[in-house]
Amino acid sequence: MEPLLDRPGPQIGRSSLGERMTSCCSYRTLQAWLPILTWLPKYRLSWLQMDLIAGLTVGLTTVPQALAYAEVAGLPVQYGLYSAFMGGFIYTFLGTSKDVTLGPTAIMSLLCASYVGGDPVRAVLLSLICGTIQTAMALLRLGFLLDFISFPVIKGFTCAAAVTIGFGQVKNVLGLKDIPHEFFLQVYYTFYRIPETRIGDVVLGLLCLCLLVTLQWMKSTLEPPSEQEALLTRAAHSLVWGIATVRNALVVVAASFLAFSWNAFGSPVFTITGKTSQGLPPFRAPPLFETTPNGTSISFGEIIEVSDRPIGIESCHIEDGISKKSSSQNDYRINANQELFAIGLTNIMGSFVSAYPVTGSFGRTAVNSQTGVCTPAGGIVTGVVVLLSLAFLMPAFYYIPKASLAAVIICAVAPLVDYRVVMQFWRIQLDLVPFLITFLLSFWEVQYGIVGGVVVSGLMLLYNVARPSIKVCDHGVLVMELDSGLSFPSTEYLNTVLYTQALQGKRVCVFWNAGTLFMWEAIRLPRETNLSSSCVCPPSLLSPLPVSLSLSS
């Protein structure tokens, strides 16, 4: 697939109002807002075959994962499927990456669970709120704000989320019920109630885990066949690769058949999902109020309190990271603000079909890329697979054992704990601080972890601005070189350094600024240090060139 065009930026120059209006209404601008117009006229029949294969493969991966992630979100399993199909259709028209797939993920499900407490009404409204925030950020071109969430903060959060989600599924593997959702209470009561373990769930859960890990290992070690090998060998390779790719669906189907067989013989030994709503979700406006079982009405203002937490920003950052990684691996460009617009509109439209917030999925995006998808149209096939599952397969989901879904979740989040990155942070202590703060606070409340990490990273960034690195060289003439631009937070610090160095003897102190110097700060420095000065700088208020400031006592 050819690179998708970036949205044209603002025209700098003396263009007339008419020219600007013409540019805004041009076909190029329309292509920027609807990237499908870039690749659809060039669509080939060979691409259709690859998109069908990729979409079907991702769809078979999405269905069991969506059911499992609804369990993480504390919602009925059908809400996972409600959230899994809208992204494929929206992203086909608005996305700038051929590989990215939108849908429920483990991390977003955990965030949703911590905000809405298993209430479907609030989960749907949360999707609307997140989508509105994300769309507004895209229209205002605020995608650059995501760069202020540092890599250590993201890794600290994802590692903590993986541990929280993974351990949260231990209760389903053990067949335990009524375990609190808070992490520390969950750990305590899980170990406290081990004597209540159901042997059937343990055996099935461990068996599913072993199968999933084995199939994943087979896929990772499978060497691509060469053209010289026999046709039978290449066919066997494709078969093994296909089975390993859709391993989640195969394991869940096999476990469901086993549970159905035991129930048919009157010996229910597994904890099953139970009754689910059948059919497609109704298309209706998201609820703006909620009525509790005792008849109390909760207003929109009370429900919207969930929006004061960073789930929308975190969703944007995850999707931005996925799209950038996919584009770099496959050599094409993406538009960050357009990606933000696509995910925002997906969440807004998803709220009309009872979906909870979604974002890009690392695992399913990798599957999409590996199966050779050519355009975002593969998402339509994935969406159709999910819709068919909702329409015809919901009664069969009654028999899905919770232990098998737990195994799917544990295998999905395990790669998020990247010990190699942790070792790198251990060697770079400045990165280790926000990582550890985010990691530890996330076990208390996930939103506190993100906020705490961002605050610490911001303070470290501000410290570097207020205390810039200064190189001092004494060769008869004292030369002080400032690596970064001089701004008002660093002026007092620089005053102290200049005064101390210049008064250590009658000598000339030359201050060389390698970055941007604000003229007012250059004038104020010698005045406040009581030093005579000579200043060489451009006449503009904000100097874009290196500046030399000579000070003598």
The DSSP code sequence of 16-61 is: -HHHHHHHHTSHHHHHHH-THHHHGGG--HHHHHHHHHHHHHHHHH
The label of the residue with tokens 């965030």 reads 111
* 416 to 137, 244, 419, 439: CA distances (angstroms): 27, 20, 9, 13
Instruction: Tell which residue, 388, 331, 428, 345, has the closest CA to residue 131.
Output: 345
Whether residue 131 contacts residue 347, with contact meaning beta carbons closer than 8 Å, is answered with yes
pLDDT value at position 552? 45
Question: Which pLDDT band holds residue 542 (cuts at 50, 70, 90)?
Answer: very low
Mean pLDDT of 505-516: 55
Contacts 24+ apart (CB under 8 A), 331-334: 331/3, 332/1, 332/2, 332/3, 332/4, 332/97, 332/98, 333/3, 333/4, 333/6, 333/96, 334/4, 334/96, 334/97
- Top mean pLDDT of 163-167, 289-293, 301-305, 489-493 is at 163-167
Amino acid, single-letter form, for residue 429: Q
Percent of the chain at pLDDT > 90 equals 30
H/E element, 294: none
More confident residue, 444 or 469: 444
Q: Is the pLDDT of residue 382 over 90?
A: yes
CB 515 within 8 A of CB 485: yes
At 15, is the pLDDT very low, low, confident or very high (cuts 50, 70, 90)? low
Average model confidence (pLDDT) across the chain = 79
pLDDT at 492: 72
The answer to whether 162 touches 413, Cβ cutoff 8 Å, is yes
Average pLDDT of span 206-231:
86
Enter the CATH code of domain 469-552.
3.30.110
Report whether pLDDT(3) > 50: no
Report whether pLDDT(14) > 90. Answer: no
DSSP state of 387: H
Q: Which of 168-172, 222-226, 492-496 has the highest mean pLDDT?
A: 168-172
Which of the given ranges, 72-86, 219-233, 468-482, 523-537, has the highest pLDDT on average? Answer: 72-86
Main-chain phi, psi angles of 16, to 5 degrees: -75, 165
Express each pLDDT in 147-169 by its tens digit.
Answer: 777 888 888 888 888 899 899 89
Predicted pLDDT of residue 429: 76
Say what the pLDDT of residue 20 is: 61
Q: What is the side-by-side strand order in the sheet with 547-552?
A: 470-475, 477-482, 508-513, 547-552, 532-536
123-147 average pLDDT score: 86
> Quick one: pLDDT at residue 32?
80
Give the model's pLDDT for residue 510. 61
Whether 540 shows a pLDDT value over 50: the answer reads no
Mean pLDDT of 116-133: 88
CA pair distance 306, 215, nearest whole angstrom = 40
Res 345: pLDDT: 95
Q: Helix 378-388 vs helix 45-72: angle between axes, to the nearest 10 degrees? A: 50
pLDDT of res. 543: 42
425-460 pLDDT per residue, tens: 888 778 888 999 999 998 988 778 888 888 898 888
- How far apart CA 520 and CA 505 sit, in angstroms, is 27
Give the pTM: 0.78
CA distance 534 to 527: 12
Residue that has been written with the tokens 């207003």 in this structure? 299
At 320 the pLDDT is 55
- Given the DSSP bridges, would you call strands 508-513 and 477-482 parallel, antiparallel or unpaired? parallel
pLDDT at 13 over 50: no
Phi, psi at 95, each rounded to 5°: -80, 150
Q: Are 156 and 449 in contact (CB under 8 A)?
A: yes
The secondary element (H helix, E strand) that includes residue 185 is helix 183-192
Residue boundaries of the structural domains of the chain: 47-416, 469-552
- Average pLDDT, integer, range 9-38: 68
When pLDDT is averaged across residues 198-206 and rounded to a whole number, the result is: 93
Of 182-186, 225-229, 489-493, which one has max mean pLDDT? 182-186
Which one, of 361, 311, 369, lies nearest residue 131 by Cα?
311
* Residue 532: per-residue pLDDT: 47
Supply the pLDDT for residue 520. 42
The pLDDT tens digits of the residues spanning 295-348 come to: 677 766 666 664 445 555 565 555 555 555 555 555 666 777 888 899 999 999
- Over residues 372-401, mean pLDDT: 92
Which of 176-185, 233-242, 483-492 has the lowest average pLDDT? 483-492
Give the range with max mean pLDDT: 175-179, 302-306, 374-378, 499-503.
374-378
Tokens of 329: 């691996």
More confident residue, 298 or 46: 46
State the first-to-last Cα distance of the chain, in angstroms, to the nearest integer. Answer: 66
